[in-house]
Structure 1
Amino acid sequence: MNLRFIETFLWIVRLGSFSAAAEKLNATQASISNRIATLERELGVQLFDRESRNVTLTPVGRAAVPKAEEIIRAANEFREAIASPTTLKGTVSIGTIDSIVHSFLPHLFERVQERYPGIAIDLNVDTSLNVAREITDRKIDLALIMGPVPDPALINLELGTYRCVWVANPKYGLHGRRLSFEDLCGYPIFAFSKGSAPHHGLLKQFRDEGLDPPTISNSNSLATIMRLASDGLGIAPLPRVILDEHLASGKLVQLDVFPAFKPLTFHAVYPDHPDNLLPSIIAVMAAEVSLSMADA
C-alpha cells in the first residue's frame, strides 16, 4: 500500500477538498483523484461520498482517519529515528513576527541548517494576528508568534517570555531618573502594530494609571521603530534582547519607567497532525533556542 496515497487521503480530510490537497501537495487535482481511486480499489471500499457537493467522508472513511493517522505518524517517527538528518528533504512554511526575527530566529535557522541541510524554510513575516489566521487556516506549517492560538487542533508550545524596556535618544534627557506614565505623555511614542496584544497592553497601562492614552504611532517593524527612536523622533518600548548594539553605541538609552512594560510571551504553534513531524521538530528547536535567550 502506497504511503503517499494514505497521506493524500488525510490531507483531503484536513483541508476539506481535493483541490486544496492538490495545491498543498503540489499535484494536479486529477492526480489526487487518481490516488484516492487507487486506494479505494486496493481497500475495496469507498472513502468519500462522491454524490455530495462538498467533500464528505463515508462511514468507512471516517473510521479510516485515525488508523491512517497512526500509519503516517509511525512512518514519520521511523524515518526520524533511523534516517540520517542529511537525507531529509522538503520545505517547511513558517510564519513569524518581527520581534522574533530580531531576537532568536537567526540562531534557530543556524541550528536547523546544521541538523537538516536538506530542509528549506519558506518564511513570511507579518503580525501575530495575521500569522495566527494562517496557521488556523492551515496555510502554513508552523507559526512563531505571540500566542497562544485557541484551537483544539493546534499545539501551542511556549517559547519563553522576553522583557521589554523603554528607550529613547539621549537628547531627551530622560535617563537616570524614575519616570511615570504621566511623564511619557509629553513625548511622541512608537509602539507595536495596532491591534496587537502589546499595543492593547500599552493602552491599558495608561488607563490603569488614570491617563488618557496619548497619540501612539504604530509599526510591525521593530527595525523601523528602533531607527525612529535612535534618530530622536520619539520614545519606544522594545524587547531588551534586541537592543545591545543600539545601547552600546549610545544611540539609545534605557529609561526607568514604572510600571514596567508588559513582557512578551512567544509560542510555536502547529497542527496536531501525524504528517507534521518536521514542523514539530523545528518547534522544539525554537523552544530550546528561545528559552536560552529569554530574560523574563
Structure 2
Amino acid sequence: MNYKRLETFVWVATLGSFCKTAERLHTTQPAISARIAGLEEEFGVKLFEREGGSSPIILTSKGKELLPYIEKILYQSEQLRKRAEANAAYSGVLRLGVSETIVNTWLPDFLARLNQKSPNLNVELTVDITTILAAGVKDRTLDLGLLMGPISEPSIVNRDLCTFALSWVCSPRLSLPERLLYLEELTPWPIITYAKSTKPYAEIVQKFRGLEGNPPHFYASTSLAAIRSLAIDAVGIATLPDIMIAKELEDNVLRKIHTIWTPHDLKFTASYSDEPFNPLAEMAVDLAVEAAQKYENTLLDKLN
C-alpha cells in the first residue's frame, strides 16, 4: 500500500479539491489525480464523486467508510517514524547539568539506567548551582537540567523529581544547647550555606537580616561536600540536606540543631526545552523520574 496515495486521499477528503491538495503537498494536480486513480484501482472501489467545475469533490459512501481506517494507518505510520527518529537520536551526546545534591544521592542509579537504555550515548556532565544550570537549559547549551526548579519559561518542560528536607547542623564540639534555639543564638558562629544566587542562600540571608543584634557572617560555597567538611571541623553552623548527613549523624561527627526556623525543603525538577523536539531529553527524563522515585522509596523503607 502506497503511503503517498493514502496521504493524498486524506487531504483530498479534507480539502474537497484536487487543486488545493496539490498546493498543500507541493505537487501538480495531475499527480494528485493519478494517485487517487491508482488507489481506487488498488482497492477496486470508487472513493470520490467528481462532479466537475467549481463543485467540491466529495467522498462516496465507500470512501467515507474507509477514511477513518486510512487516517489510523497514517497516524500509526507517523508514530512509527517519530519512534525511529527518537531511537536514532538516543546515540550521540547528552549535555547534562546536575545539582550537587543529586550527585550525592541518586545520580549513579540514573546514569546506570541511562547506559542500559542507550549504550551508545555519550554524556557530558556539568555539576553547578541551579542558576547556572537553568541558564544553560534556557540557551540550549544543556540538553537537560536536574536542578532546583521549576524554570518558568513557556518553552521549558519541568517534571517533578524529588524533595529533600534541610536541617541545621554543627559539630558537637561547638557545645550548643540541646533545647529549641532562637536564630540569634546561632550568630556567634559563621553560617555556612549554599552559594550566592541560590534559593536557600537568599532565604537564609533574608531571614537573618531581620534579626536584632549583631549580624552573622556567611560562608557561602558551591560545594555541599565542602560545607559538610567545614561543619564537621567546627568552623561554623551549616544547612545541609538530611540525606547528605545520615552517616555523619550516626558517627556523631555532626548533630542536628533544633531551631524555631528552618529553610524550606529543596524541590528538584528535570527541566529541558522542547523547542525543537528533544526526544533524547524526554527519554532521559523518564529514567531520572524512575531513579528519583526509587531513591525516595528506599529512604521511606529505611525510616519505617
- The answer, yes or no, to whether TM exceeds 0.5 is yes
Match of 2:64 in 1: none
In the superposition, relative to structure 1, how do residues 231 and 274 fare at CA in structure 2: closer, same or farther (>3 Å)? same
Runs ≥4 residues deviating over 4 A? 71-74, 207-213
Aligned-residue offset at 1:251: 1.4
Moved more, 145-154 or 104-113: 104-113
Unaligned runs of 5+ residues in structure 2 are 1-25, 28-76
Match of 2:225 in 1: 223
Residues of 2 paired with 1:197 and 1:74: CA distance? 43
Residues of 1 paired with 2:190 and 2:178: CA distance? 19
Residues of 1 paired with 2:81 and 2:212: CA distance? 58
Residues of 1 paired with 2:80 and 2:274: CA distance? 14
Quick one: which amino acid aligns to residue 153 of structure 1? S
Cα deviation 1:49-70 (Å, max 9, x = unaligned) = xxxxxxxxxxxxxxxxxxxxxx
1:175–1:253 CA contact under 8 A, matched in 2: no
Aligned-residue offset at 1:259: 1.4
Match of 2:93 in 1: 91
Quick one: which amino acid aligns to residue 77 of structure 1? R
Aligned-residue offset at 1:116: 2.2
Which of 173, 176, 180 in structure 2 is aligned with 1:174? 176
Residues of 2 paired with 1:77 and 1:130: CA distance? 32
2:166–2:265 CA contact under 8 A, matched in 1: yes
Quick one: which amino acid aligns to residue 110 of structure 2? L
2:192–2:220 CA contact under 8 A, matched in 1: yes
Match of 2:81 in 1: 75
2:98–2:146 CA contact under 8 A, matched in 1: yes
Residues of 1 paired with 2:213 and 2:161: CA distance? 33
- Matching of residues 114-263 of structure 1 within 5 Å: 114-174=116-176, 176-207=178-209, 213-263=215-265
SS for the counterpart of 1:290 is helix
1:95–1:142 CA contact under 8 A, matched in 2: yes
SS for the counterpart of 2:119 is coil
Residues of 2 paired with 1:73 and 1:151: CA distance? 28
Computing the radius of gyration from Cα coordinates, the structure with the larger value is 2
Match of 1:55 in 2: none
Aligned-residue RMSD, C-alpha: 2.8
Residues of 1 paired with 2:160 and 2:187: CA distance? 34
SS for the counterpart of 2:169 is strand
Aligned-residue offset at 1:213: 4.8
Aligned-residue offset at 1:183: 1.3
Quick one: which amino acid aligns to residue 152 of structure 1? P
In the superposition, relative to structure 1, how do residues 73 and 141 fare at CA in structure 2: closer, same or farther (>3 Å)? farther
In the superposition, relative to structure 1, how do residues 147 and 74 fare at CA in structure 2: closer, same or farther (>3 Å)? farther
In the superposition, relative to structure 1, how do residues 78 and 213 fare at CA in structure 2: closer, same or farther (>3 Å)? farther
Match of 1:29 in 2: none
Aligned-residue offset at 1:133: 0.8
1:92–1:278 CA contact under 8 A, matched in 2: yes
Unaligned runs of 5+ residues in structure 1 are 1-42, 45-70
Quick one: which amino acid aligns to residue 148 of structure 1? P
Aligned-residue offset at 1:261: 2.0
Aligned-residue offset at 1:76: 3.8
Aligned-residue offset at 1:103: 2.1
Aligned-residue offset at 1:162: 0.8
Residues of 1 paired with 2:160 and 2:275: CA distance? 18
Residues of 2 paired with 1:103 and 1:209: CA distance? 34
* TM-score normalised to structure 2 length: 0.66
Match of 2:109 in 1: 107
1:207–1:213 CA contact under 8 A, matched in 2: yes
| Count of aligned positions | 225
Moved more, 283-292 or 119-128: 283-292
Quick one: which amino acid aligns to residue 224 of structure 1? A
Moved more, 205-214 or 131-140: 205-214
1:206–1:212 CA contact under 8 A, matched in 2: no
Quick one: which amino acid aligns to residue 205 of structure 1? K
Moved more, 243-252 or 284-293: 284-293
Aligned-residue offset at 1:269: 0.7
SS for the counterpart of 2:192 is strand
